[in-house]
Amino acid sequence: MNTAFVVNSVAVGRCDGRWRQLERTIREAGHSRVEVRATDAPGQATCLARDAVRSGCRVVVAVGGDGTVNEVVNGMFENGVPLEHDLVLGIVPLGSGCDLARTLGITAETTPALKSPDATRVMKIDVGKVQFINLRGEEETRLFINIADLGAGGLVVQKASRAPRILGRRPNYAWGILTAAAFYRAREVTISIDGGSPLRLAVRNTIIANGRYFGRGFLAAPEARMDDGLFDIVTVGNFGTLEGLWHLPKLRTGKHLGLDKVSHSLGRRVEVTSDEEVLLEMDGDLVGRLPATFEIIPNAISVMVA
């Protein structure tokens, strides 16, 4: 079975020696054919993954963080349908944010992508499909595999990438979350779940979750399952600045669902609109703004699991 490793050059550049060691392990693992395709620019992993599938690869492994996985997944699909029926996604988590890998219980050293494809276990998981307005002001449809976040999440991503250099070269999500908690004000949004009556709410975050973690380890959706055909929808309400900072540790540990200003629902389709500008991030990347419609695609892709 032909395997393509789509490598985020920026992510592995921060840990080049570690990747080279892993690459040797991969080439010795019994893959009949291994292709390593490295990105030169943001967004290129989508094209590389699509080209790999069209050239005959049936296993595509994303080497990088959640953003790289997102791009690879989008390259494996067209109009919400896999390019081939027997595709398998692998993950080597080496990026700044690897929250999907946390949910799946894998690390760079324990990922099943290091093994021969014949020796790995796969499971079918769901994927989210989103229609939204991108950063150029155009309508766009895109997939996500872990978590999409409306509101403060976009500011978190933006601030994380601009964190003080003293905190390191990688995006610092703890800094971004603290900054957003301190300065972001709630926006009025209208939410409809599965065609139900629209609810108008003042919220800081609307989290549409397939996976459980975001922001480098914050347990946003502790009850989420990636194979149940449902989103976990978590809304974080109108907390004041001090109140938000006080409760921030609960978001880290997944205990925020018990707070009065936090709600948790399940659904297959979520429509969110607002008269204000509300940013949208997916799988750790700022991609656009409202309005947005989210739909679950059940059992959409096979992924290597530990």
Q: Same structural domain for residues 155 and 287?
A: yes
Q: Same structural domain for residues 164 and 290?
A: yes
CATH code assigned at 246:
2.60.200.40
Q: pLDDT averaged over the chain?
A: 87
* Residue-wise pLDDT tens digits, 226-241: 999 999 999 998 887 7
- Picking from 213, 218, 142, the residue whose alpha carbon sits closest to that of residue 180 is 218
User: Locate tokens 């790995």: which residue?
Assistant: 120
Mutual angle of helices 152-161 and 173-183, in 10-degree steps? 130
Which amino acid, residue 189? V
The reply to whether 244 falls in a domain is yes
The Cα–Cα gap between 4 and 7 comes to 9
Report pLDDT for 146.
98
The Cα–Cα gap between 224 and 212 comes to 6
Report pLDDT for 148.
97
* Residue-wise pLDDT tens digits, 154-203: 777 766 666 555 555 556 666 667 676 667 788 999 999 999 999 999 99
Q: Same structural domain for residues 16 and 144?
A: no
**pLDDT, greater one: 82 or 177:** 82
Percent helix, strand and coil across the chain, each rounded to 5? 30, 35, 35
Cβ–Cβ under 8 Å, residues 80 and 109: no
Cβ–Cβ under 8 Å, residues 112 and 305: yes
Report residue 35's pLDDT band, with 50, 70 and 90 as the boundaries.
Answer: confident
The reply to whether 304 falls in a domain is no
Q: Which of 62, 97, 119 is the last residue of a domain?
A: 119
Number of domains in the chain: 2
The Cα–Cα gap between 85 and 261 comes to 43
The Cα–Cα gap between 187 and 268 comes to 24
Question: Which structure tokens are listed for 21?
Answer: 């060691």
The reply to whether 31 falls in a domain is yes
The reply to whether 267 falls in a domain is yes
* Residue-wise pLDDT tens digits, 14-28: 555 666 777 777 766
Cβ–Cβ under 8 Å, residues 53 and 60: yes
pLDDT (average), residues 21-39 = 73
Tell me, what DSSP letter sits at residue 2? Answer: E
Report residue 291's pLDDT band, with 50, 70 and 90 as the boundaries.
Answer: very high
Q: Same structural domain for residues 169 and 111?
A: no
The Cα–Cα gap between 87 and 175 comes to 37
Q: Same structural domain for residues 160 and 286?
A: yes
Report residue 207's pLDDT band, with 50, 70 and 90 as the boundaries.
Answer: very high
Report pLDDT for 17.
62
Q: Same structural domain for residues 77 and 186?
A: no
Q: Which of 119, 147, 164 is the last residue of a domain?
A: 119
Q: Same structural domain for residues 26 and 172?
A: no
Full-model pTM: 0.89
CATH code assigned at 95:
3.40.50.10330
Report pLDDT for 199.
96
For 295, the 3-state DSSP assignment is strand
**pLDDT, greater one: 249 or 207:** 207
**Listed range (133-147, 160-174, 227-241, 290-304) with the worst mean pLDDT:** 160-174
Report pLDDT for 156.
73
Tell me, what DSSP letter sits at residue 42? Answer: T
Specify which of 40-49, 98-107, 226-235 reaches the highest per-range mean pLDDT. 226-235
pLDDT (average), residues 118-144 = 94
Cβ–Cβ under 8 Å, residues 73 and 44: no
- The domain in which residue 267 lies consists of 128-299
The Cα–Cα gap between 145 and 297 comes to 10
Percent of the chain with pLDDT over 70: 85
Q: Which helix (H) or strand (E) holds 70?
A: helix 66-76
